[in-house]
Structure 1
Amino acid sequence: MGKKSRRKKTAKERMPFVARTFEGLPGEADWIALREFVPAGTADVTLKDGSSVRVCSLLPGAGAGLVRTDGQVWLGLQVQHNFGDISRDLAHVLELAAETEPGTPITMDDPGVGPRLQDLVDPASSFDVTVHEGFDFWVEGTVPHSQSSREVPPSSGSDAIAQANEGIAPTTRLTSVEGAYWTRVGDHRWLRWVLPHDESKMLDALARLQQRGDDRLGEGTRLLGSFRAHGLLVPVWEMDPAVTDGAEALEEPAVAFGKRLEEALADTSDLTSEQRAVRNSLAHRQLTVR
Structure 2
Amino acid sequence: MGKKSRKRQSRPEGTPKPKRHEVAYVERPFEGLPAETDLVAMREIIPAATLSVRTTAEHGDREVQLVTLLPDMLPAIHRDDDAVLVALQTGMRSGDASRDVAAALLEALDLEPGSALTTAGLPEPGPRLQDVLDLTGPFEITVRDSFDFWLTDEAKQDDNVAAALEQANANIVPTVKVDGVRSAYWVRMGAREFLRWARPEDQEQVLNALARLHAARESAVDDGAKFVGAFRSAGILIPVWELAPGTEADELAAPLEAFEAKLEQALASTEALTADERRARAGIVSRQVSLR
Structure 1 and Structure 2 fold alike (TM over 0.5): yes
Q: 1:142 aligns with which of 136, 154, 162?
A: 154
221-230 or 101-110, larger mean C-alpha shift: 101-110
Cα deviation for residue 141 of structure 1 reads 2.8
Cα offset, 1:5, TM superposition: 5.0
Specify the code of the residue in structure 1 equivalent to 2:99.
R
* Offset of residue 288 of structure 1: 7.2
Q: For residues 18-97 of structure 1, what are the structure 2 equivalents within 5 Å?
A: 18-49=26-57, 50-97=61-108
**Against the structure 1 CA distance between its residues 139 and 98, is the aligned structure 2 distance closer, same or farther, given a 3 Å change threshold?**
closer
Q: Identify if the C-alpha distance between structure 1 residues 5 and 59 changes in structure 2 by more than 3 Å, giving closer, same or farther.
A: closer
Q: How far, CA to CA, are the matches of 2:184 and 2:154 in structure 1? A: 32
Q: Could you tell me whether the CA contact under 8 Å between 2:232 and 2:290 is conserved in 1? A: no
What is the match of residue 150 of structure 1?
none
The alpha-carbon deviation at position 59 of structure 1 amounts to: 0.9
1:46/1:126 contact within 8 Å kept: no
Cross-structure match for 2:168: 164
Q: 1:47 to 1:289 in 2, by over 3 A?
A: closer
Partner of 2:110 in structure 1? 99
Partner of 1:182: 186
What is the alpha-carbon distance in structure 1 between the residues aligned to residue 40 and residue 272 of structure 2?
31
* CA drift at 1:69: 1.8
SS at match of 1:234: strand
1:101–1:289 CA distance, 2 compared to 1 (3 A): closer
Separation in structure 1 between the aligned mates of residue 291 and residue 181 of structure 2, nearest angstrom: 21
8 Å CA contact retained: 1:43, 1:54: yes
2:22 to 9, 14, 21: 14
Aligned residue number for residue 287 of structure 2: 285
Q: CA deviation at 1:203?
A: 0.9
Residue range with higher mean Cα deviation, 195-204 or 102-111: 102-111
Are 2:179 and 2:250, in contact at CA under 8 Å, matched by a contact in 1? Answer: no
Which SS does the other structure have where 1:259 is aligned? helix
Distance 1:289 1:111 in 2: 21
Name the residue aligned to 1:151: none
Aligned pairs for 1:125-274 within 5 A: 125-143=137-155, 157-242=161-246, 245-274=247-276
Q: Which amino acid aligns with 1:45?
A: V
The offset of 1:289, in angstroms, is 9.3
Report the 3-state secondary structure (helix = DSSP H, G, I; strand = E; otherwise coil) of the residue aligned with 1:157.
helix
Deviations 1:5-53 (A, max 9, x none): 5444334101211101111111111101111111111110122223211
Cα separation, 1, equivalents of 2:208 and 2:46? 27
Q: Deviations over 1:184-231 (max 9, x none)?
A: 010111111000011111111111111111111111101001010100
* Identity within the alignment, %: 38
Deviation digits for residues 59-91 of structure 1 (CA, Å, limit 9, x no counterpart): 111110111222221111111111222111111
* Structure 2 CA distance for aligned equivalents of residues 36 and 90 of structure 1: 14
Count of equivalent residues:
277
Counterpart of 1:276, as a letter, is R
Distance in 2 separating the partners of 1:126 and 1:98: 21
Say which structure is richer in helix.
2
RMSD of aligned alpha carbons: 2.1
Structure 2 counterpart SS, 1:22: coil
Secondary structure, aligned partner of 1:74: strand
How big is the shift at 1:142?
3.5
Which blocks of at least 5 consecutive residues in structure 1 are unaligned?
Answer: 147-153
> 1:170·1:183 contact (CA, 8 Å) conserved in 2?
yes
User: How far did 1:96 drift?
Assistant: 0.8
Does the 8 A contact of 2:186 with 2:194 survive in 1?
A: yes
Question: 6-15 vs 186-195, which deviates more?
Answer: 6-15
